[in-house]
């Protein structure tokens, strides 16, 4: 990548904002005067403002992005904190501009409004099997109602992973003092995605998987949305047990005892490291 291309990346630009980020930052927050980059340094970071065009990926979203992109897995790993951090950076710097806003594949992962904490302590508990978000009920600048999780995350907020009920309060999410004491708060829940085998490679690419590998219909875009393992399982496929510490595998029929489940069609490999799905299919 040349110097000009590097300068366009948010992580390599002054104050962390590329020229495109500056325009997005100015359009998102109406009180900016003077140099937007200096404003971000002096005010924006402390008030939790989003300084990039790309939305902020959650832990679940960055993992889903890794699961979708084997090239990122091969570059950074599959499930480590480092891999998640680098996936978020790739999305901020490249993926958002190249592919648009990332949307998690799981149909049941759409974030939900959970509770309005201003309505009193008897009703401010939230059941959230996932990540609970605590933030302002209204926009600190415009005072307009905040009605999406993305909007809430444009400002200072707190997060707490949970599998049960959580108090929608600053103490409930582990803070020592409240955010925006002058504003009412609300909570949203992002549900933990259900487990599914994840994409490991397209046909002919190297595969890293300790578990069961599905050789199946290619992970293709359909109506603007990527298909996944659940889509491919409804067509012909074959499975093999692989241990990537013993052999360098590629996603090809020769590594499935020569079986080609869909002759003449492009295929992908999906990895089920927990070996859950073959049992489910047999029941």
Q: Each residue of 267-280: pLDDT tens digit?
A: 999 999 888 765 54
Q: Which residues make Cβ contacts (< 8 Å) with residue 111, sequence separation at least 6? A: 133, 149, 188, 189, 190, 191
Candidate from 135-149, 182-196, 214-228 with smallest mean pLDDT: 214-228
User: Rounded mean pLDDT of 162-189?
Assistant: 93
Instruction: Determine the pLDDT at residue 228.
Output: 82
- The model carries a pTM of 0.84
Q: What span, in angstroms and rounded, lies between the C-alpha atoms of 196 and 241? A: 17
Instruction: Determine the pLDDT at residue 274.
Output: 86
Structure token pair of residue 237: 């496929």
3-class SS of residue 276: coil
Instruction: Determine the pLDDT at residue 1.
Output: 39
Q: What span, in angstroms and rounded, lies between the C-alpha atoms of 200 and 165? A: 35
Give me the residue label for tokens 């806003």: 101
Check: CB of residue 80 under 8 Å from CB of residue 86: no
Tally of helices (H runs) and strands (E runs) in the chain: 10, 12
3-class SS of residue 13: coil
Instruction: Determine the pLDDT at residue 225.
Output: 63
CA distances from 164 to 15, 61, 85, 114 (A): 39, 21, 27, 13
Q: What span, in angstroms and rounded, lies between the C-alpha atoms of 256 and 262? A: 13
Average pLDDT of the chain, as a whole number: 87
Angle, CA 154 vertex, CA 152 and CA 158 arms, to 5°: 60
Instruction: Find the radius of gyration of the CA atoms of the chain.
Output: 22
Instruction: Determine the pLDDT at residue 42.
Output: 92
In this predicted structure, the answer to whether residue 52 has a pLDDT above a threshold of 50 is: yes
Note the Cα 111 to chain centre separation in Å: 12
Instruction: Provide the pLDDT confidence category of residue 220 given band limits of 50, 70 and 90.
Output: confident
> How does pLDDT run across 131-171, given as a tens digit for each residue?
999 999 999 999 999 999 999 999 999 999 999 999 999 99
User: Rounded mean pLDDT of 80-87?
Assistant: 94
Q: What span, in angstroms and rounded, lies between the C-alpha atoms of 151 and 111? A: 12
3-class SS of residue 17: coil
User: Rounded mean pLDDT of 216-243?
Assistant: 82
Q: What span, in angstroms and rounded, lies between the C-alpha atoms of 112 and 104? A: 14
């Amino acid at each position: 990548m040349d110097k000009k291309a590097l300068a366009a990346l948010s992580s390599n630009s002054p104050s962390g904002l590329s020229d495109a980020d500056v325009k997005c930052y100015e359009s998102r927050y109406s009180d900016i005067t003077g140099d937007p980059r200096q404003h971000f340094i002096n005010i924006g970071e402390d008030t939790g403002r989003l300084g990039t065009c790309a939305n902020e990926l959650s832990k679940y979203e960055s993992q889903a992005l890794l699961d979708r992109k084997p090239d990122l897995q091969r570059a950074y790993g599959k499930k480590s904190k480092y891999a998640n951090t680098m996936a978020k950076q790739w999305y901020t710097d490249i993926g958002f501009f190249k592919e648009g806003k990332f949307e998690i594949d799981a149909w049941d992962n759409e974030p939900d409004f959970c509770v309005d904490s201003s309505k009193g302590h008897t009703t401010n508990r939230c059941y959230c099997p996932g990540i609970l978000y605590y933030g302002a009920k209204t926009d600190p600048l415009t005072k307009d109602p905040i009605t999406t999780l993305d909007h809430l995350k444009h400002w200072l907020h707190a997060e707490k992973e949970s599998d049960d009920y959580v108090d929608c309060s600053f103490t409930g999410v582990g803070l020592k003092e409240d955010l925006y004491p002058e504003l009412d708060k609300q909570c949203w829940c992002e549900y933990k995605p259900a487990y599914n085998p994840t994409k490991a490679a397209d046909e002919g690419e190297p595969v890293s998987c300790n578990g069961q590998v599905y050789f199946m219909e290619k992970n293709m875009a359909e109506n603007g949305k990527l298909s996944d393992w659940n889509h491919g399982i409804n067509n012909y496929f074959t499975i093999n047990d692989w241990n990537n510490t013993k052999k360098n595998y590629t996603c090809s029929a020769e590594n499935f005892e020569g079986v080609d489940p869909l002759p003449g069609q492009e295929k992908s490999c999906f990895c089920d490291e927990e070996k859950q799905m073959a049992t489910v299919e047999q029941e």
